[in-house]
Amino acid sequence: MRLVLLGPPGAGKGTQAARLVEKHGVPQLSTGDMLRAAVAAKTPIGLRAKEIMDAGALVPDEVVIGLIDERLGASDCASGFILDGFPRTVAQAEALQELLVRRGLSLDAVLELAVDEGALVDRMRKRVDETRAAGGAVRADDNPESFKTRLEAYRAQTAPVSAHYAKRSELTRIDGMAPIEDVTAEIDRALSDAD
Ligand code: ADP
pLDDT value of residue 193:
82
- 29 - beta bridge partners? 83
Q: Calculate helix-pair angle for 44-55, 61-72, nearest 10 degrees.
A: 120
**Residue 175 phi, psi dihedral angles, 5° rounding:** -75, 105
| Region label for 42, one of left (φ > 0), alpha (ψ between -120 and 50) or beta (otherwise) | left
pLDDT value of residue 6:
97
Alpha-carbon distances, residue 109 vs 8, 70, 139, 188, 191 (angstroms) = 18, 22, 29, 11, 7
Q: How much is the pTM?
A: 0.94
pLDDT value of residue 195:
64
- Coil vs helix vs strand at 9: coil
Is there an atom of ligand 1 within 6 Å of 176 CB? no
Is there an atom of ligand 1 within 6 Å of 38 CB? no
In the predicted model, residues of the chain with pLDDT beneath 50 are none
CA distance 40 to 95: 27
> How many Cα neighbours within 13 Å face the side chain of 15?
16
Q: What is the 165 CA–ligand 1 centroid distance (Å)?
A: 19
pLDDT value of residue 118:
87
Q: Are 98 and 61 in contact (CB under 8 A)?
A: no
Is there an atom of ligand 1 within 6 Å of 146 CB? no
